[in-house]
Amino acid sequence: MIDLFLNYLRYERNRSEQTVLTYGKCLRYFERYFKGKEDNLDWASVDADVIRSWMENMMDRGEKATSVATGLSAVRSFYRFALARGLVKIDPAHHVQAPKKQKPLPQFVKEAQMDSLLDASCGEEYKDVRARTIIILLYEAGLRRAELIGLDDDDVDFSARQLKVTGKRNKQRLIPFGEELANQLKSYMAIRDGQVEKNSEALFLGRDGLRISQSTVYNIVKEQLRQVSTLKKCSPHVLRHSFATAMLNHDAGLEGVKKLLGHESLETTEIYTHTTFEQLRRIYKEAHPRG
């Protein structure tokens, strides 16, 4: 039955060979499990409790939730196939729930590291000033990479000190900014206008005068953050995480951070509360008599 199902995946569904191999491995593992559990068990007599017991066994063996979910996906697909072909009379996997996948905590750069980077001297060439401005803007406004790239000159309001940002699904939000970012943006725009022939209304331009590319922004951030951080992935989104973590560490309300980040749901923002241990440490040291 397993071979019939795998041939169906391979030749009728055109699934990748890696998927076929993975599903085959999961199904044979499950078959060994239930046959070792009871001698008279077969694919037609397995029930939902046996499947749940197998999943618990995998988790007890130290398997990650993603691996257990993949195993269940293989069993579900197999039983849908077998039921449609009349090989079994019931689908015991239909109502079995996969384990919740644990979301990894967001990686962020520590405040002291960001201070070290931003307080260091910067070159006067266009690319150097542009790089510094991008880092400060991502860190102080918590923008996504696409939001930064999409900024036009008209989106910067120096009198009100706010940015008009277009986020996901073209939703716009206003983000306030302080004196440091205001001065940096003015310096950048002055150097840009003096050294680059503008062919776009974009705030950040390449040497061709057109809107800066995603890969250029990524490489700028990676090069800059590698100077102060040992994180494996030094991406623009790390600076967004760093913004949110710093805000919460300095007593910003969760609802306010949610609005600044442009999140739809508060649950998305709440993941950053797991990274604010430094705030708890500070409260403990200040409040506990022997802290």
Active-site residue list: 144, 168, 237, 240, 263, 272
Residue whose C-alpha is closest to residue 233's, from 112, 106, 114 = 106
Give the whole-angstrom CA distance, residue 50 versus residue 237. 42
| Angle formed at CA 124 by CA 119 and CA 128, multiple of 5 degrees | 70
The alpha-carbon radius of gyration of the chain (Å, integer) is 27
Give the whole-angstrom CA distance, residue 193 versus residue 55. 62
Yes or no: say if 177 and 170 are a contact pair by the CB < 8 Å rule: no
